[in-house]
Amino acid sequence: MSDAITKIVNIIAEYAYTNGYPKWAAAIFIIILSVFLATVTRFIIDRYISRLTKLTQTEIDDEILDAVKAPIYYLILLVGFLIAINYIQIPYYDYFVIIVSIILIIIAAQVISKTIEIVLTEFSMRMSSKEVSDDERRSTIDIEAIPFIIRITKLSIFIIAFLIITKILFNIDINSIVVGLGLFSIGIGFAAKDTFANLFAGFFILLDRPFVRGERIEIQNYVGDVIDIGLRTTKIKTLTDKVVIVPNALMVSDIVVNYVLPRKKVQLREIYGVAYGSDIDKVMEVLLEAADECDYIYKKPKPEVYFVKFNDYSLDFELRIWLKDYHENKGRGA
Per-residue pLDDT 10s for the chain (334 aa) are 556 555 665 666 666 656 666 777 777 888 888 888 889 988 888 888 888 877 777 777 788 888 888 888 888 888 888 778 777 777 777 788 888 888 888 988 988 888 888 888 877 776 655 555 554 444 445 556 677 778 888 888 988 888 888 888 877 666 666 666 665 556 555 555 667 677 778 777 777 778 888 888 889 888 888 888 877 888 999 888 899 999 988 888 888 888 777 666 667 788 889 998 898 889 888 888 888 877 777 777 788 898 888 988 898 999 888 776 655 554 444 4
Q: How far apart are CA 100 and CA 165, in angstroms?
A: 11
pLDDT computed for residue 260 by the predictor: 75
Q: CA-to-CA distance for 42 and 122, rounded, in angstroms?
A: 25
Position 236 scores a pLDDT of: 92
SS3 210: coil
User: Which among 239, 243, 262, 260 is positioned nearest to 331, based on CA atoms?
Assistant: 239
Q: Please report the pLDDT score of residue 14 as a whole number.
A: 64
Contact indicator for 267, 320 with CB cutoff of 8 Å: yes
Helices (H), 45-173: 50-54, 60-87, 93-129, 134-139, 145-170
Residue 69: is it exposed, middle or buried by C-beta count within 10 angstroms (0-12/13-18/19+)? middle
Q: How many residues does the chain have?
A: 334
* Residue 245: per-residue pLDDT: 92
What's the pLDDT score for residue 64? 83
